[in-house]
């Protein structure tokens, strides 16, 4: 299924569908970012700090899964 205004590249959609671990960690990253966006104004400093740390960890995890290697330093 093509999105409006996007041209599908051969193999790209197949890769997206076949890399389930990457899809799952990306979904978790997006879900967490959306939660922060919704709640940031009412979060305590401790909650904001934890949320930032978790966001950083999730970004590293996306990198690790996407590259098949270690997270960047």
- Find the helix or strand (DSSP H, E) in which 69 lies: none
Query: CA separation (Å) from 54 to 10, 13, 28, 33, 45?
Result: 34, 28, 10, 10, 14
Stated pTM of the model = 0.69
Residue 58 falls in which region: left (phi positive, over 0), alpha (psi -120 to 50) or beta: alpha
- Where do the domains of the chain lie? 20-67
Burial of 14 (0-12, 13-18, 19+ CB in 10 A): exposed
The predicted structure's pLDDT at residue 1: 47
Q: What is the pLDDT of residues 8-56, one digit of tens each?
A: 566 655 555 678 899 999 999 999 999 999 999 999 999 999 999 999 9
């Amino acid at each position: 299924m093509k999105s409006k205004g996007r041209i599908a590249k051969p193999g790209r959609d197949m890769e997206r569908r076949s890399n389930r671990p990457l899809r799952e960690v990306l979904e978790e990253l997006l879900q967490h970012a959306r939660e922060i966006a919704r709640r940031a104004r009412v979060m305590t400093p401790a909650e904001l700090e934890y949320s930032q740390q978790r966001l950083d960890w999730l970004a590293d995890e996306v990198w690790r899964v996407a590259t098949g290697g270690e997270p960047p330093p």
